[in-house]
């Protein structure tokens, strides 16, 4: 079985631009979460979706948004990019909220 | 906000020595998870602890959940070079948000 897949793997954007990151969860997993990991720090929670509904939102500005599709894949959108948005963006899926998460390899976003 | 503190931040050990990382919370936890992240990699789920005083083993790794469910530890016996990485605890404070600890970065001296 394929694990959690994220695309693209790397991305370079200019300040002020918009970016869309994509995630396909493990087949059968209905919960998808997004995390931001800055170098040297632990992952920071951005969003969680379960059955296409937003179940949790972290302390990120409104420039960050996400959605989950009927096939449980998900997109993370970031508008008006700032230099500080440069990070590894991780997607994780699980069968439900009481289970361990399987992480994708992440998207490395660099804002210049 | 709610957070979990993890100590130590860094640990350098000789290959073959033991290693322990600790995770502490000021509030009672419903469960705690442990993840390992290799350098340049992504977090990989190791285990989830749910019961007070629970102890679980995975080969050379021993995980404990405190009696008061406010702390947890991960102990590695006889470390190997494959154990290199950052070990994170992670907790769900009941708000659908998995909060990661600060992590302990383990380096092995061959």
Mean pLDDT, rounded, of chain A: 94
% chain B with pLDDT above 90? 87
Report d(CA B106, CA A97) in Å as an integer: 29
- Residue B1, pLDDT > 70, answer no
- Residue A1, pLDDT > 90, answer no
Q: Are A27 and A2 in contact (CB under 8 A)?
A: yes
* Residue B93: predicted pLDDT: 77
- Rounded to a whole number of angstroms, the distance from the CA of B72 to the nearest CA of chain A is 16
Supply B47's token pair: 């285990």
In DSSP terms, B20 is beta-bridged to B75
HEC string of A37-60 equals ECCCCCCEEEEEEECCEEEEECCC
- CA distances to A23, A25, A26, A112, B39 from B36, rounded to whole Å, are 21, 20, 19, 30, 10
- The 10s digit of each residue's pLDDT in A59-72 is 999 999 999 999 99
Identify the closest residue of chain B to A58 by CA–CA distance.
B97
Nearest CB among A56, A90, A102 relative to B97 is that of A56
Report d(CA A35, CA B9) in Å as an integer: 21
CA angle B44, B50, B52 (to 5 degrees): 135
Q: Supply the DSSP symbol for B83.
A: G
* Residue B95: predicted pLDDT: 65
Q: Which of B43, B49, B99, B104 to mutate to test the interface with A (most CBs of A within 10 A)?
A: B43
Nearest CB among A55, A90, A99 relative to B42 is that of A90
* Residue A99: predicted pLDDT: 85
Nearest to A38 by CA among B93, B103, B92: B103
Q: Which of A29, A30, A42 to mutate to test the interface with B (most CBs of B within 10 A)?
A: A42
Report d(CA B65, CA A58) in Å as an integer: 26
* Residue B56: predicted pLDDT: 98
A40 Rama sector, left if φ>0, alpha if ψ -120 to 50, beta otherwise: left
Location of structure tokens 């020595």: B17
- The 10s digit of each residue's pLDDT in A92-112 is 999 876 789 999 999 999 999
Sign of the Cα pseudo-torsion (B73, A34, A52, A10, in order): negative
- Rounded to a whole number of angstroms, the distance from the CA of A62 to the nearest CA of chain B is 17
Q: What would the mean pLDDT of A18-46 be, rounded to a whole number?
A: 95
Report d(CA A102, CA B45) in Å as an integer: 7
- Rounded to a whole number of angstroms, the distance from the CA of B11 to the nearest CA of chain A is 14
Q: Supply the DSSP symbol for A59.
A: S
- The 10s digit of each residue's pLDDT in B16-40 is 999 999 999 999 999 999 999 999 9
- The 10s digit of each residue's pLDDT in A81-92 is 999 999 999 999
């Amino acid at each position: 079985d394929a694990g959690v897949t994220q695309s693209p793997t790397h991305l370079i954007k200019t300040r002020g631009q918009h970016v869309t990151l994509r995630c396909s969860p493990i087949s059968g997993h209905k919960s998808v979460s997004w995390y931001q990991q800055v170098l040297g720090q632990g992952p920071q929670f951005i969003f969680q979706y379960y059955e296409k509904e937003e179940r949790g939102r972290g302390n990120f500005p409104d420039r960050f948004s996400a959605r989950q599709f009927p096939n449980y894949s998900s997109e993370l959108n970031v508008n008006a990019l700032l230099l500080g948005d440069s990070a590894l963006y991780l997607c994780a899926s699980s069968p439900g909220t009481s289970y361990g998460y399987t992480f994708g390899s992440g998207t490395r976003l660099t804002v210049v | 906000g709610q957070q979990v503190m993890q100590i130590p931040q860094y640990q350098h050990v000789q290959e073959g020595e033991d290693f322990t990382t600790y995770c502490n919370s000021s509030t009672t936890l419903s469960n705690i998870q442990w993840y390992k992240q290799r350098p340049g990699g992504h977090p990989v789920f190791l285990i989830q602890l749910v019961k007070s005083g629970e102890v679980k083993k995975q080969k050379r790794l021993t995980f404990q959940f405190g009696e008061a469910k406010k702390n947890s530890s991960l102990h590695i016996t006889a470390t190997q070079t494959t154990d290199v990485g950052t070990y994170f605890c992670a907790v769900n404070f009941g708000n659908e948000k998995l909060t990661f600890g600060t992590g302990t970065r383990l380096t092995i001296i061959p």
